[in-house]
Structure 1
Amino acid sequence: MTPYALTVRAKARDLRAADHLLHTLAAGLALPRGAFGCTHLVRTGRPHIALSLALPDEPLARAARERLTGLGYEVTPGVPDRAGRAVIYPGVTALTGTLTVADLLARSAIDGVTVLGSPREPAPHTPLTTRDHVRPQWRDGRLLLAAVPAAGGTLVPFEVPDPTPCCADH
């Protein structure tokens, strides 16, 4: 991430709402290509989801802060934690359909893919079906996508695009 980061205290209650708000704010701010937009689970006080924006330079960060503050958001410098879930990042729009792990890494800011339950990274030629929903997370300064095995020797991102809410059938 860049040193020009902002936290937006939006107090979103779920990831879908946070993703939507992040996209709405990003469109209104006309974020440049090198920008990152992340969600962060805040567990202190009343649990909520905060948003962060990382911008490539200080003038953009200052303009974004002024605009967001003008819209009524509480904005502070920095990020709430180092484990943000990236929603907006360089290359995200190119991650559609099925592509190889190597293509995913070449087309985006994602640094690596981990497979749950496996000690090794997947082979570069392994197909990954994105479901058009790729949400990597920052871990130890690297943007990593958690994936799980799927049918036919493919992988899919661990996070599903439309999760079933808890107790949905009650």
Structure 2
Amino acid sequence: MNPPPYAIGIDTSVTALSEADQLLLELAAGLGLPQEAFGCTHLVRDGDGGRPRVALSLAAGTEAVVEAARARLVAQGYQVRDGAWDQAGRAVLYPGAAALAGTLAVADVVRRSAIERVRVLGTADRPDPATRLVTREFVRPQWQDGELVLAAMPAVGGTLVPFEVPDPTPCCADH
């Protein structure tokens, strides 16, 4: 599966992924997007080493959905551009995301959502489809070569967990 053919990029001044996730979810809810829509975050920087930030993209299978979203976002004061920021967006909103709660077999993650593959860090092998993934209700796959791929890492008891954690500890928090 490739990303949907129609996409817009939304510029933000947000610098934290958690803020960008929240903004994306709020915007999408207000836009009434169809369930097959995708919403991604993208780490971007203005040319010549400018300010780093997290931009957003929304994508859908029909131009009408994306153009309606564009009109509403522009009316709200957002700067909107054609297309996603890059081809490696981190998906926050995607088909089946809400069904990825609790502990699921890798095969169920792929069956229930737009995620096409689970990649275990540190190994070239695909996990056994029966391997359990503890979702922590926070599953953020990324587009890689036209596939939505979830990076996971080994956890206790032979399970996997998504690589990205819901509440990361800031660097040097205990210093």
Kindly state the Cα deviation for residue 59 of structure 1 after the two structures are TM-superposed: 1.0
TM-score by length of 2: 0.95
- 1:132 maps to what in 2? 137
- Give the Cα separation in 2 of the matches to 1:11 and 1:118: 36
Aligned pair count reads: 170
1:12 counterpart letter in structure 2: V
Question: Percent identity of the aligned residues?
Answer: 62
- 1:64 maps to what in 2? 69
- 1:74 maps to what in 2? 79
Q: What secondary structure, in the 3-state scheme, does the structure 2 residue paired with 1:10 have?
A: coil
- 2:36 maps to what in 1? 34
- 1:20 maps to what in 2? 22
Kindly state the Cα deviation for residue 155 of structure 1 after the two structures are TM-superposed: 0.2
Q: Give the unaligned 5+ runs of structure 2.
A: none
Match of 2:151 among 133, 146, 155: 146
- Give the Cα separation in 1 of the matches to 2:82 and 2:5: 9
Kindly state the Cα deviation for residue 88 of structure 1 after the two structures are TM-superposed: 0.2
2:41 counterpart letter in structure 1: T
Q: What secondary structure, in the 3-state scheme, does the structure 2 residue paired with 1:11 have?
A: coil
C-alpha deviations, 1:34-72, integer Å up to 9, x for none?
Answer: 100000001342110000000121111111001000111
- Give the Cα separation in 1 of the matches to 2:147 and 2:26: 26
Q: Give the unaligned 5+ runs of structure 1.
A: none
1:80 counterpart letter in structure 2: W
Question: Following superposition of structure 1 onto structure 2, how do residues 90-105 of structure 1 map, counting pairs within 5 Å?
Answer: 90-105=95-110
TM-score by length of 1: 0.98
- Give the Cα separation in 2 of the matches to 1:70 and 1:112: 38
- Give the Cα separation in 2 of the matches to 1:67 and 1:37: 16
Kindly state the Cα deviation for residue 3 of structure 1 after the two structures are TM-superposed: 1.5
- 1:106 maps to what in 2? 111
- Give the Cα separation in 1 of the matches to 2:22 and 2:172: 23
Kindly state the Cα deviation for residue 2 of structure 1 after the two structures are TM-superposed: 1.2
